[in-house]
Structure formats: structure tokens, C-alpha cells
Structure 1
Amino acid sequence: MTSPQNPPYGTPDTPLLTVRGEAELEVDPEIARIGVTVTARGKDRRTTLDDLTHRNATVLELLKSYGDAVENLSTGAVSLTPELGQRGRGERVRTYHGTVHLTAELTDFTALGELTTRLADLDLTGVDGPSWALRTDSPAYRQARQQAVQDAVQRAKEYAQALGTTVAALIELADTGTGASGLRPQAAYGGRMTRSAVMAKGEPAPDPLDLEPQRMQIRAEVSAQFTMNPPTL
């Protein structure tokens, strides 16, 4: 039951004031994600699988060589699919397609451009990204929520002041949304390359891509209900 001292609606003696508090911050990202697709193709199933395994191992070795700069590394879908010929009788396999999808999360953005370039330089290896993100426990979220609450309190005081009175008490505070947004990746770096997984002797390493972090927009919103001291109208 609702206490008589705290009715769910306003009265002439305790007018109810409902406001919304908002905050929007622009912060630097904390994580860069890249997707890596390793591909193999051949007429023999075992040879295709061996090629896929070798290229996947090469990519993993390169990613792990960056140590703590790569915070998380995971393997997604793996597939080895036969492609049937369109002519002749019976089910005859023309070629096999193999793919492995990996996702890497980096926290050291100084290594991001070099790593992305080296991955894209590998044979039959595609790179997508980067996409930028914040950690789930990023202090930026807390800062945005606090500013949203402060905005709600300030709005309530301003409305009460416009009526020639003051805010008396907080009745309810509700979090109506906190989130981050940023631009989605606009390009894929790499793709299907024809270079060898091991650079030819004496061939210089490719110049690293210059990747600028995409700043994140953090938005928080709250709804608050206050009682006011009765104004004189």
C-alpha cells in the first residue's frame, strides 16, 4: 500500500514535480575490435584443411606476439564446405572452401595500425574494422549517470523557482537509459590477398595504417519526481 505521507500524485499541500535529467559526454574509446577471416581453397579436402590450419596458426601466432596489447582473442565460426560441379552426372566435388573467423580486442592503439597492416598482408586473410567501444565498467558511464541526476535536480529547482517556491523532497528516481554510440566501421582493411604468408626475403614490411580512434558518445537519462513546498499563485 502507498503511505498517506507519500501519495502517488500531487496535492495542493504537496505539489508533485516530474522532470527528466540528461547528460551527454564525448570520450575516447577504450577498446578496438578487429575481425579476421582466414580462407583456404583447393580441389582436395585434406589439402584445403591443412592450408586453413596453417594459415590460422600463422594469424594466431602474429596476434599473440603482441602480448598484452591484444586483451582478448576468440575464434568464431569455422567452416569447410564442398562446392559441387554443375556439369556431369552424380555429385562431384569441384572445390573446397574453408574459413575461420577470429575476433581480437586491443587496448593499445599504438599497435593497432601495424597489426592490422601485417594481418592484411597475409595470404588469403581479410581484416574488418576497427570498431571502437568502451569497457562495460567504464567510469565514463558512471560520470554520465551522475551528471544526469545533477541535471534533474537542477531542472527541478529551476521549475520550483519559477513558481516562487522550493523543492521539498525526492519521491522517485528512475534510470531511463545509459548507452554509448559511435560510428560503425566504414571500411574493411585487407581482403583476399595473393601475397605469401611469409614475406619474400629482402622485401620491406608494409607501412602501418594510420588509424585514428573514433570518439564515443555517452548518453544517460533519468526521470525524477519531487514534491514542492506549496507555491503562492
Structure 2
Amino acid sequence: MTASESDDPRAFVPYGTPDAPRVAVRGEAHLEVDPEIARLGITVTARGRDRRSALDDLTRRNTTVLDLVKSCGEAVERLETGAFSITPELTRHGRGERVRTYHGAVRITAELTDFTLLGELTTHLADLDLTHVDGPRWDLRPDSPAHREARRQAVREAVQRAREYAEALGTTLAALVELADIGAEVSSPHQAAPGRMRSAAYAVAAETDAAAPLDLEPERQHVYAAVHARFTMNPPAL
């Protein structure tokens, strides 16, 4: 530090002084909120003795799944195809390598925001041949108001805690010196929502012997936020 900087009263001091004692606190917030998104992972598979038959079968089943998901209308916020593969399976015996059969697979991800349709959609998908359904996985949007509210509550708790320390010394806070965001994240859900989201009918061709819709209960999401804050206090009379 140069002489001119040391004479500057505004120069940064990394510690408190008798005239401006500092207090450092941590503020935390834990919220429990309803999920906003339900994700389904759908894997459609097919097998055939030749590549063309496996591909045709896979195309037909993929179209069936996409039409089924799209029939939910505006309840589907996102529908994406993530991976596609056609793989030959060779015979294990014999002198020469021969293709025994072909395996095809398509990976689809669907995000729904209306959970009243989720149970029936999941049941219909699971009832399809050679179709694997993974989910639902409950989540919040990245820009969910719950994240913002958690951060606000963490800051308010930090201010309140600093005031309590100052009051214990018989003084008051003077100024905020630093506020550091040390992370905000959604932890693994631990508890289901108190109310069940029952399935409603949607426009699909369903047979009379179709499986009964699943009665799914969305899992509550736990939002956590924490901050570090440093304040200066008015000099207490000790």
C-alpha cells in the first residue's frame, strides 16, 4: 500500500476498528414448495431379423409414443428426442460373424406442467410394448420464484441476526460492508405433497381393458439459500 492510499480514509480495511467494529453473520433459508415440472424419460425399443424391419418397427412405436404425449396438449411444455441407435447382435457360435438380430432404441424426454394428466399418460406409456418409462422426476424451473424468495429470506435473516448481536452490545448497525451468496440449490425431495393430483381423461384411443391410471402424488421440493454478510456497528459503550 502506498503512502497516499494509507492516508485515504476510504481505503479498505479487512478488519474492524474500535470506531467501526464489524460483525459477520450467516443467513439461511429453507423453503418447501410444490414442484412445477414433472419429467418423464421414455425409451422405445425394437428388434428385427434385419435392419429394415427393426427400423420400421422402431419408427412406428416412436410415432405412437410421440402422438400419445402430444395428445396432452398444452400440458406438455417440452418434448425432445435425445438419442437414437440401431445395433446389430452377432451370433456367438460358428466360424464366421453373422448378424443374429438388430436392436433399435429411441430416447425421449417429456416435461409436463399439468400434473392432472400425468398419471393417465404414464399408465398408457407403460402399457406399450417394448417401452420403458422412467419417472416422473419432480423439479422447479431455474427461474422459479421459490429460488428468489429463498434468497430474500436468507438476506433478511442475516440482517436480523446482525441486529441481535448489535443489540446485545447495546448498539446498532451502521452499514453493510459485504454480502456474499454462498449458494442456492434444490435438495432431494423428502416429503410428498399433502394432496393427491388425480388424473383426468385426455384424447387418446384407449381400449376398454386398459390399465387403470396411476394416482401420482407430486413430491415437495426443498429450496435452500445461504449468504454471508458483514456489517459495521456504531461503537458500543463497553
- Shared topology, TM-score over 0.5? yes
- Are positions 1:40 and 2:46 aligned together? yes
Give, in angstroms, the shift of residue 182 of structure 1.
2.8
Give ranges in structure 1 of 5+ residues lacking alignment.
185-197
What's 2:33 paired with? 27
Superposed, 1:1-233 pairs within 5 Å as 4-5=9-10, 6-183=12-189, 203-233=208-238
TM-score, with length taken from structure 2: 0.88
| Counterpart contact for 1:132–1:182, Cα < 8 Å | no
Count of aligned residue pairs for this structure pair:
218
Q: CA deviation at 1:180?
A: 1.1
Contact 2:174 / 2:231 at 8 angstroms: preserved in 1?
yes
Per mean C-alpha deviation after superposition, the further-off stretch among 175-184 and 157-166 is: 175-184
Report the Cα offset of residue 7 of structure 1.
Answer: 2.2
Percentage of pairs with the same residue: 68
1:231 Cα shift? 1.4
Residues 183/94 of structure 1: CA separation in 2 closer, same or farther (3 Å cut):
farther
**Secondary structure of 1:58's aligned partner:** helix
Please give the TM-score of this superposition, normalised by the length of structure 1. Answer: 0.89
Counterpart of 2:197 in structure 1 is none
Q: Unaligned stretches of 5+ in structure 2?
A: 191-204
Alpha-carbon distance in structure 2 between the residues aligned to 1:210 and 1:121: 16
Could you say what secondary structure the match of 2:116 adopts? coil
Letter in 1 for 2:212: D
1:155-209: CA deviation from partner (whole Å, max 9, x where unpaired): 000111111211110011111111112349xxxxxxxxxxxxx87xx64221100
Cα distance in structure 2, aligned partners of 1:45 and 1:72 = 31
Letter in 1 for 2:165: Y
Q: Which amino acid aligns with 2:93?
A: R
How far off is 1:52 after superposition? 0.3
After superposition, give the CA deviation of every residue in 1:108-167 in whole Å (9 maximum; x if it has no partner): 000000000000011111100000000111111111111000000000001111112111
Task: Give the CA RMSD over aligned residues.
Answer: 1.6
Give the CA deviation at 1:17: 0.8
Matches of 2:189 and 2:82, distance apart in 1: 24
